Amino acid sequence: MIDLDKIQKAIREEKLDGWLFCNFRHRDALSDAVLERPSGLTNSRLWFYAVPSEGEPFGLTQAIETDHLDGLPGTKNTYISRKDLEALLAPLAGKRWGAHFSETLSAVSFLDAGTASFLEKAGLVLVPAEALVQRFISLLDSGGVASHERAAAGLYRIVEKVWDIVRSSYAQKKELYEGDLRRAMEEEFVRLGLVRDHPPLAAAGPHSANPHYDFAGQGALVKEGDIIQLDLWAKENGPRSIYADISWAGVYAEKIPEDAEKIFADLVSARDKTFAFIERELSSGRKLSGAEVDAYTRSLLVAGGYEKAIKHRTGHGIDTECHGSGVNIDSVEFPDSRFLLDGSCFSLEPGIYLDRYGFRTELDVYIAGGKPRYYGRLQTSLLHC
């Protein structure tokens, strides 16, 4: 059974009249997820489900697919023609409905332009629902925080084990491939009971300058002096388990090169100053958006001369998905004006990418009691052999 009280609470907090769900051919994964609709149902006709801020929900299904809203609370109506549908939508006219579209956040934008135009011609006022999505799906309760921290503890243990392999290979002058590092991480995921949506990243040398580097087979041979970037994310195996996502970097050498040491120190400084910025602004009682946080981090990197070496936003929302539906730390790619709320969980991961190598440092932050918090330890300098 859906959590109607939680849905309506989110609607009231965003000062909307309601939240409008609809689907066609299961194109809207959010509508199916929030309303817990079975993915196996044939969905060849539009259905609508309108949840008001108060009172009973209102559902509409086409006459040959009336089972799509079975088990949901509220009144149900059936339409056959487009004319029927227009008439049945009349009670929703003149009200502000959160709908799944967004000019900037593609991850929560599913409503097609044609259906949106039809609804607006029927008199509905459509408002982007990304803030509703964050409130309903992505704010962690105490159980979610505990799940996230357990996953994070596992990831930190994996980093330690993998770097032990790096040091051992270096000391024994044994060949080491990117594939060896990725395989070691994957084996630890299985041993610790963690699951992930994509293989972790293990990138050496110039490959570390590609934030989404991937390879087949063994990958490249790790060479003396190579920067090694590890990026790993996973969660416990359960329906409401929360991801953790961390990035650690090191060098395949006994001594850290001065240029790499300086760049990484600047990254660490930007990360830590951003955390302090969040702490300071929230403690003053000010609402802080993901876009503002990203702009702050970015300004620090630009001031350090790294503007052309920044390839991505400096953080993303985290929930039951690694790249979740909550606030992103982003002012340039998918500018996110949503606020950091109690329960928000997101990464802080500034990166600098040059031609010969690149790296990033990442920690996961969640907001609790109006303060930013994180679990585990911070990487303060590059790992080495």
Contact 56, 49 (CB under 8 A): no
Question: What is the pTM for the complete model shown?
Answer: 0.94
Contacts of 337 (CB under 8 A, 6+ apart): 104, 289, 290, 291
Class of residue 104 by CB neighbours under 10 A (exposed 0-12, middle 13-18, buried 19+): middle
Upper half-sphere CA count for residue 92 (Cβ side, 13 Å): 32
Quick: pLDDT tens for 74-102.
999 999 999 999 999 999 999 999 999 99
Q: What's the rounded Cα separation, in Å, for the pair 180 and 91?
A: 61
pLDDT of 377 reads 87
Domain boundaries, the chain: 4-136, 139-374
Cα–Cα distance measured from residue 122 to residue 125, given in angstroms and rounded to the nearest whole number: 9
Q: For 139-374, CATH number? A: 3.90.230.10
Distance from C-alpha of 183 to C-alpha of 293, rounded to nearest angstrom: 35
CATH class, 4-136 region: alpha beta
Query: What Å distances lie between residue 232 and 15, 195, 209, 227, CA to CA?
Result: 38, 11, 16, 16
> For 205-217, how does the pLDDT look when each residue is reduced to its tens digit (9 = 90+)?
999 999 999 999 9
Task: Give the chain's residues under pLDDT 50.
Answer: none
